Chains A and B, each alone.
Chain A
């Protein structure tokens, strides 16, 4: 199966349609995006990143694409292969909330349908059950652990209806 994400594989020979200042502004308004323009490309983020040697586009390159207003950044594999370990954010000498920005980019990509399949299923089960996984009862019985406290799924459903979790794509 061809993945819908990570299709931007190289800058080689790539022509960009526009440098979209509005896109840069939009990203600056994300949680953690306020210091985006302080990036001076030292690449210390990429030097500490556990996936730098496993991606086509590295995290400092993502930061550069954001400053240039290149929307194609949402199609880079770095967006979804960020393991969210926060090492880049810890290391950034400019104090930029890099990992938080990447979360925002994931949100933007998801709305455009650019996402690994696993996330689609996870969203459905979070909505349906309010949880990611169900308890393994025989293990709990063995260890004489009490049942996991109950959750009324209607409560979380009501809330997620309000945040339109299941209708994110329609906003496009």
Chain B
């Protein structure tokens, strides 16, 4: 059965990580997932706005959900920030009538209403559901690729707006651990994390001055290569930290 979603790109991916969008679209095409353009999308709502004013955040995020609802579609997003914001808002509006009333009052002049019919999914959740299908499509083994994921430790990216110093310390701790674990790349499914790993990481050193740089890939790029998709479409040209250490393994 073909799945179809309105695809919520957010701001960070079209601004900084178009290779993530491109590789996601390539995977979706390969796996028969239909992605519909999200007309009228604004910022997802973002933790930045949630930090400033919860009502504005719920309204901003609720408007996006209500747009998809009006068109009868579910939502998929490749961005962890957008996913968190939309899903969190959906949870609040679903469970709490007083917030729902407030947000719907702000949406009414736009001819929109939130009623809670829309499913909100991360692109990686969709991939996970299709893991059996995906495993049948793997044509290239990536032996030698040692992916590191200090899974549950925050990347520090949300702190770039408050204190670049603290954000960089967190990144340094993570990269010391990654290098120590013998990884030869970092893989994420999030443009905010990637801002740390593929931008802030450039030139990063430990306290002794040793380079901590490791190539940073999106999960859609790794899967894409394994599934034999054209590297150009996967957007490796736009990866900022040099991919030289793993070029051969990826075959790019």
Which of the residues B15, B25, B156, B237 comes within 8 Å of A83, measured between beta carbons? B156
CB distance from A157 to the nearest CB of B (A): 10
| Contact A131/B11 with A50-B153, A50-B154, A150-B40 known, Cβ cut-off 8 Å | yes
For B22, give its contact among A119, A145, A163 (CB under 8 Å).
A145
| Pick from B41, B51, B52: contact of A165, CB under 8 Å | B52
Using CB atoms, name the residue of chain A closest to B26.
A143
In the bound complex, CA of A50 to CA of B196 (Å): 15
Interface residues of A in 125-172 (CB under 8 A from B): 126, 130-136, 139-140, 142-143, 145-146, 148-152, 155-156, 158-160, 162-163, 165, 168
0 or 1 for each of B77-102: is its CB under 8 Å from A? (1 = yes): 00000000000000010000000000
Residue B229 at the A interface, CB < 8 A?
Answer: no
Question: Would A135 and B40 be within 8 Å (CB), given that A118-B161, A119-B161 are in contact?
Answer: no
Give complex CA distance A134, B49 in Å.
17
Contact of B166 with A51 in the complex, beta carbons under 8 Å: yes
CB pair B63 A136 closer than 8 Å: no
B55 within 8 A of A: yes
The total of interchain contacts (Cβ-Cβ below 8 angstroms) comes to 159
Q: Tell me whether B161 and A133 are in contact (CB under 8 A).
A: no
Other-chain residue from B18, B25, B37, B233 in contact with A136 (beta carbon distance below 8 A): B18
Nearest residue, chain A, Cβ from B8: A149
**Roughly how many angstroms separate A50 CA and B18 CA in the complex, as a whole number?**
29
Residues on A with C-beta less than 8 A from B159 are 51, 81, 83
Q: Which residues of A have CB within 8 Å of B105?
A: 162
Residues of chain A with a CB closer than 8 A to B42's CB? 130-131, 151, 155-156
Interface residues of B (CB under 8 A from A): 9, 11-12, 14-16, 18-19, 21-22, 25, 37-43, 46-56, 59-60, 63, 92, 105-107, 109-110, 152-154, 156-159, 161-163, 166-167, 169-170, 173, 233, 235, 237-238
